[in-house]
Structure 1
Amino acid sequence: MSRKAAAAARSKTARKTPAPADGGVVHIPAPGEGKRGEQGYLGYLLRQAHAAVRLTMERTLADLGVTSPQFAVLTMLNAYPGLSGADVARLTFLTPQTVGVIIRNLERDGAIAMTPHPVHGRIQQWTLTPRGAALLKACRQRVLELEKRLARGLDIKAETAIRRWLAGIAAELQEG
């Protein structure tokens, strides 16, 4: 059975949980149904979509030995070489502690290297190594396929509007 067919079958099948005190059966809606669909709160729908994307990304990158947060760190260090760990944490929405663990692991694996800040010697700056750049390239090829999946059915105008909307939400809510 194809993935789409299996997903469709799951969405049509009621998920049952232990019966409530009145003895009835509780139907848990599948993604896209009820409050998990167009009737849901935007914030919930964004979180649901994020969870689905992250799980798919984790599965996509697993055989490369890269997690979704590691991919985010590699991506930001590629885009902005010389970031500190604190900067990486802010850009990736990860805690400084989590970024510290990721950085240690990526450094141990030879994917990133530390250089001291030219002015503030206690600040450590991180950059990709050639190994890290090659790893990121392999990851990116897979993630771009996922991006294509996400944009399937959207024309360029709709995709641009959605990107603008999502970036606008982040900017507006960051200010408040």
Structure 2
Amino acid sequence: MSKSSMAEAPAAGEGKRGEGGHIGYLLRQAAAAHHLRTERALADLGVTPPQFVVLTMLAAYPGHSNADLARLALLTPQTVSVIVANLKKAGLVEATPHASHGRIVQLQLSAKGASLLAESKKRVYALETAMLGGLSAEEEAAIRRWLVRQAAGQA
């Protein structure tokens, strides 16, 4: 089949990529678009979206191990190990041994990490505000409730 005779793939929002599409696909499409926008917003800071998530979870839940962070960040333990190693090398994260469990290392943000996270959050929160633009408070609350129910398996 020649390139000229192939049908054009629909753009986001068109055909099955629009409101008539499968909800699972639409969620994936929206997540991919958000990931790309986040990646672009953080690029000049040298922060990737997964690093942003790990830094955010560390700020919210300091002292947790890599395994805990993996669960919180929805990443694999192997991915979090690589991310944490890179964040430690960059001086963004500090590790201390657990008081009673010698093999567990507790992690926290360094001052440099907290500063970088604050700037990163400004950019990501601006994206989220734009994403929610045009929605009423009630619509936003309904979307949030629905997303939480889906994540918790309470469909």
The reply to whether residue 129 of structure 1 matches residue 116 of structure 2 is no
Higher-Rg member (1/2): 1
Note the C-alpha offset of 1:116.
1.0
Note the C-alpha offset of 1:117.
1.2
Q: For residue 161 of structure 1, what is the amino acid of its counterpart?
A: A
The reply to whether residue 60 of structure 1 matches residue 41 of structure 2 is yes
- Alignment gaps of 5+ in structure 1: 1-17
Kept after mapping to 2: 8 A contact 1:19/1:26: no
SS of equivalent to 1:115: strand
The reply to whether residue 116 of structure 1 matches residue 97 of structure 2 is yes
Q: For residue 39 of structure 2, what is the amino acid of its counterpart?
A: E
One of 20, 29, 32 as aligned partner of 1:39? 20
Aligned residues: 155
Aligned-pair identity (%): 55
CA deviation string 1:56-95 (max 9, x = no partner): 0000000000000000000000000011101111111111
Give the structure 1 partner of residue 141 of structure 2.
Answer: 160
- Could you tell me how far apart the structure 1 residues matched to 2:16 and 2:64 are? 40
**TM superposition outliers: structure 1 runs of 4+ over 6 Å:** none
Aligned CA-pair RMSD: 1.6
CA deviation string 1:28-82 (max 9, x = no partner): 1000011111111111100000000000000000000000000000000000001
Note the C-alpha offset of 1:27.
2.5
Kept after mapping to 2: 8 A contact 1:114/1:124: yes
- Alignment gaps of 5+ in structure 2: none
One of 72, 75, 79 as aligned partner of 1:98? 79
- Could you tell me how far apart the structure 1 residues matched to 2:2 and 2:18 are? 24
Q: For residue 155 of structure 1, what is the amino acid of its counterpart?
A: S
- Could you tell me how far apart the structure 2 residues matched to 1:119 and 1:41 are? 49
Q: For residue 116 of structure 2, what is the amino acid of its counterpart?
A: L
The reply to whether residue 85 of structure 1 matches residue 85 of structure 2 is no
Which structure carries more relative contact order (alpha carbon 8 Å, separation 6+)? 2
Length-normalised TM-score, structure 2: 0.95
One of 140, 145, 151 as aligned partner of 2:132? 151
Give the structure 2 partner of residue 14 of structure 1.
Answer: none
One of 11, 30, 34 as aligned partner of 1:30? 11
One of 69, 75, 81 as aligned partner of 2:56? 75
- Could you tell me how far apart the structure 2 residues matched to 1:38 and 1:19 are? 30
- Could you tell me how far apart the structure 2 residues matched to 1:164 and 1:118 are? 38
SS of equivalent to 2:124: helix
Q: For residue 89 of structure 1, what is the amino acid of its counterpart?
A: A
SS of equivalent to 1:28: coil
